[in-house]
Amino acid sequence: MTTYVMRNGELVDKDLAEPLEVGSRIQIIREIEPYKAVAADVATGRAPIIKSRADHREFIKRNGYIEVGSEKPKPRAPIEMSSPREILKAQLERLR
């Protein structure tokens, strides 16, 4: 049985089709189930029912929350490294 894939809006035999470029695939993510927010909303003072991802993002932004795992780390200052010779020298001085 022949399998077809979509390329440039047309069905093409899968064995003859050009491979897709990386990043051109469509991802479908289902909508979240409604839930009651754990914290009260600063605007209303009550815990709202969040019904969609858009509601979730808007609630987080409006209340100044940070979603754990999606925060951006602060850049760290570079660490000054000593040469191995200086480290060994310091260790020997300490042992004496």
Q: What is the pLDDT of residues 28-85, one digit of tens each?
A: 888 899 999 988 888 888 999 999 999 999 999 999 888 888 777 788 888 787 888 8
Residue 35 lies in a domain: yes
The token duo for 66 is 């940070």
Give the structural domain span for 36: 30-67
pLDDT at site 73: 79
Residue 39 lies in a domain: yes
**Number of separate domains in the chain:** 1
Question: With 0-12 CB in 10 A as exposed, 13-18 as middle and 19+ as buried, what is 75?
Answer: exposed
**Distance separating alpha carbons of residues 45 and 62, to the nearest angstrom:** 13
Backbone angles phi, psi at 12, to 5 degrees: -130, 145
